[in-house]
Amino acid sequence: MNSCKKFLKFAVTLLIFAIMLSILPRSAQAYTPENDIVRIGLYYGSNTLVAANLQNETGYGQGFEFGYFDPTTREFISIGATTGETKISMLRDKNMYYTSDGNQYLEGTSGDAVIGCFHVQLPGSYSDFQSAQSVASQYNSGFVKYDNGVFVACFGAYTASATAASEAAKISGATVTSGTQYTIAIAATGTGRMIFEFDGGADRALGVRPIAANGIKPKTWFKGNLYYGAFQYYRVDGQNLRVLSVATVDDYIKGLLPGEIPPSWPMEALKAQAVSARTYAISKLGAHRSSGFDLCPTVHCQMYVGVSRATDRTNQAVDETSGEYVTYNGTLCETYYSASDGGATENVENVWSQPLPYLRGVVDPYEADVAHRISNYNWTVTYTPAALKTRLNNRGINCATPVSLTVTQFTDNGNVLAATVKDSNGRTWTFRKDEARIVLGVPSLRFTIGGGSQPGVGSGSGDVYVNGGEVIGDGAYAIDSSGNIVQLPAGNIYAATGSGTVEIVTAPTQTTTSSADGKVNGVFYLSGTGNGHNVGMSQWGAYAMAERGLTYRDILTFYYTGVEVG
């Protein structure tokens, strides 16, 4: 009997413990991405390069190592080939010359230094770089070429095939090589000296990584900017070089943060930006897959400027939030952000397309704290009818002279959902969501046309609702002690101020009367607040929240609805 009582007591204890566990708050599960290496297209499309210079910033005789990137893990795979040169240039395998005016290689055969595309390849191949290097080093202009998994020894960089053939004829078994559409030549910058050549065929693009000096994390100069991580090079259609920066997501964020917000901003705002940008980057891996990389370095993705402008504070914000992401029910969020929301963010489906539960519009009481510091926070855009006609025509809208431009629908948060233009022939065009911002050339979706005041929250349908659905009419209302909505009597309304005095409450005066056709003095007049697409986090709102003493987690969970940070 005693054993039964003990067992029952033990079972009850376990049950109570289980119930307590079920009701205790749970901390957010840390999100771990499948891959945290990001590939950023620095030069691509119409901006590919005939040559690309690199300089190892650490110096002290530390140069570079060569290899390629594993297509699955994205890890750098060294092929054992290295150089002690701290300044190197990747070139098309064409006749190239160097000009000190501009510090660049160009296609041609005259200049301060010339590198020809015809080489002598010595007989034999090797499984490792060192073996081929020992043979190539016997020649003054010797270098090693990686050729689809094997190494060969070469020498010379001649501008004419006949010259290379004449030299090859002097050595039994030697041949002339001039590369393929995939070949990339590597030279010591500013010279006519080859130091390596790489041809990985269609499957392996050249990877170049700086060598660290005495444990110092290396940085590399490229086109006037410093970068962490490595670089990748493709020959596009056998022509110029596509250049990618390949870095861990945190090193990418360190090169991004100073380009998105000033390093002097409050630390909690910097941290909020770091987590938001990190989350966005991983959520968008492969956004430019068709071009061979993940993200571009512009505002289309995120502003990536390298670490030249990074500071101890921006690096601290990244380091102290390392590994943290914004998730919703365990799923990574698309954490959009913009400069300022003008007073309210917006549901994503009211700006672009599909709804997302964490991208809900919120009324923002924080930006008002710092509105006076934000350049062009309050803005106006005006068009004469002729100017508006030209703008619309240039965008493929075949309208005659516009006679009216009006906001035909606001969202419940007071942002523009639809704007309509009518021309002198009676035809109308309606621009919805973000199209209205782009077509009309305004900084944000928080605007009115014709001098009208900005509608308040809940004004999307034209009515004001209280307590979940009861419409109230004109006049002033209050909630009494029983929770009922009652209309206040006509006359002055008084309220206690923060200093304890009682003063008359006066409504703000509208200085401009809204016009029915959207014109003020014959000109279409658009006025609004904020700058950006109004989805997700406001950067200036984050600044204001941080100044109030709120944390980066407070900021993120305010702008992204129902999310966890961890």
Closest C-alpha to 540, from 550, 554, 527, 530: 530
Q: At what angle do helices 552-559 and 539-547 cross, to 10 degrees?
A: 140
What is residue 524's DSSP assignment? E
Say if 359 falls within a structural domain. Answer: yes
pLDDT at 212: 85
- Rounded to an integer, what distance in angstroms lies between the CA atom of residue 279 and that of residue 271? 12
Say if 168 falls within a structural domain. Answer: yes
Do residues 232 and 288 both lie within one domain?
no
- Rounded to an integer, what distance in angstroms lies between the CA atom of residue 200 and that of residue 178? 15
Average pLDDT, the chain: 87
Do residues 180 and 267 both lie within one domain?
no
What is residue 227's DSSP assignment? E
pLDDT at 66: 98
Q: Are strands 326-328 and 564-565 parallel, antiparallel or unpaired?
A: antiparallel
Q: Which of 195, 220, 246 is the last residue of a domain?
A: 246
Do residues 259 and 237 both lie within one domain?
no
In sequence order, what DSSP letters do the residues of 304-360 get, joined into one string? ---STT--HHHHHHHHTTTT--EEETTEEP---EESB-TTB---GGGTSSS--TT--
- Rounded to an integer, what distance in angstroms lies between the CA atom of residue 565 and that of residue 170? 69
When divided into structural domains, the chain yields a total of 3
pLDDT grade, residue 24 (50/70/90)? Answer: very low
Do residues 155 and 125 both lie within one domain?
yes
Point out the least confidently predicted range of 356-365, 474-483, 509-518, 548-557. Answer: 474-483
Do residues 284 and 229 both lie within one domain?
no
Q: Are strands 113-115 and 51-56 parallel, antiparallel or unpaired?
A: unpaired
Do residues 97 and 238 both lie within one domain?
yes
Q: Residues with Cβ < 8 Å from 298, sequence gap 6 or more?
A: none
62's tokens: 């530390």
Whether residue 202 is predicted with pLDDT greater than 70 in this model: the reply is yes
- The reply to whether the predicted model has a pTM over 0.85 is no
pLDDT grade, residue 26 (50/70/90)? Answer: very low
Q: Which of 246, 266, 290 is the last residue of a domain?
A: 246
Q: Which of 246, 272, 292 is the last residue of a domain?
A: 246
Handedness of CA 549, 276, 300, 381 (dihedral sign): negative
* Residue whose structure tokens are 């990584």: 209
Q: What percent of the chain has pLDDT over 70?
A: 84
pLDDT grade, residue 60 (50/70/90)? Answer: low
End-to-end Cα spacing for the chain = 50
Q: Residues with Cβ < 8 Å from 330, sequence gap 6 or more?
A: 29, 31
Whether residue 180 is predicted with pLDDT greater than 70 in this model: the reply is yes
Find out whether 280 and 332 touch, Cβ atoms under 8 Å.
no
Find out whether 184 and 241 touch, Cβ atoms under 8 Å.
yes
Say if 492 falls within a structural domain. Answer: no
- Give me the mean pLDDT over the 255-281 stretch: 97
What is residue 213's DSSP assignment? B
Q: pLDDT of 93-106, one tens digit each? A: 999 999 988 789 99
- Rounded to an integer, what distance in angstroms lies between the CA atom of residue 66 and that of residue 51? 17
- Domain containing 279 equals 251-370+537-565
- Rounded to an integer, what distance in angstroms lies between the CA atom of residue 109 and that of residue 221? 27
Q: Residues with Cβ < 8 Å from 152, sequence gap 6 or more?
A: 121, 122, 124, 125, 126, 132, 144, 145
pLDDT at 213: 78
Do residues 208 and 332 both lie within one domain?
no
Whether residue 519 is predicted with pLDDT greater than 90 in this model: the reply is yes
- Rounded to an integer, what distance in angstroms lies between the CA atom of residue 123 and that of residue 129? 15
Task: Give the number of other CB atoms < 10 A from CB of residue 180.
Answer: 14
- Rounded to an integer, what distance in angstroms lies between the CA atom of residue 138 and that of residue 123? 14
Say if 481 falls within a structural domain. Answer: no
- Rounded to an integer, what distance in angstroms lies between the CA atom of residue 203 and that of residue 196? 19
Q: pLDDT of 287-344, one tens digit each? A: 898 888 999 999 889 999 999 999 999 999 999 999 999 999 999 999 999 999 999 9
pLDDT at 61: 61
Say if 65 falls within a structural domain. Answer: yes
Do residues 86 and 149 both lie within one domain?
yes
Closest C-alpha to 334, from 308, 310, 352: 352
Do residues 266 and 230 both lie within one domain?
no
Say if 131 falls within a structural domain. Answer: yes
Do residues 343 and 389 both lie within one domain?
no
Do residues 84 and 204 both lie within one domain?
yes
Say if 17 falls within a structural domain. Answer: no
Q: pLDDT of 218-258, one tens digit each? A: 999 999 999 999 999 999 888 999 999 999 999 999 999 99
Do residues 411 and 546 both lie within one domain?
no
pLDDT at 112: 80
292's tokens: 């061979």
Find out whether 266 and 547 touch, Cβ atoms under 8 Å.
yes
Say if 385 falls within a structural domain. Answer: yes
Q: Residues with Cβ < 8 Å from 149, sequence gap 6 or more?
A: none
Whether residue 401 is predicted with pLDDT greater than 80 in this model: the reply is yes
Handedness of CA 419, 422, 426, 430 (dihedral sign): negative
Strand pairing partners for 505? none
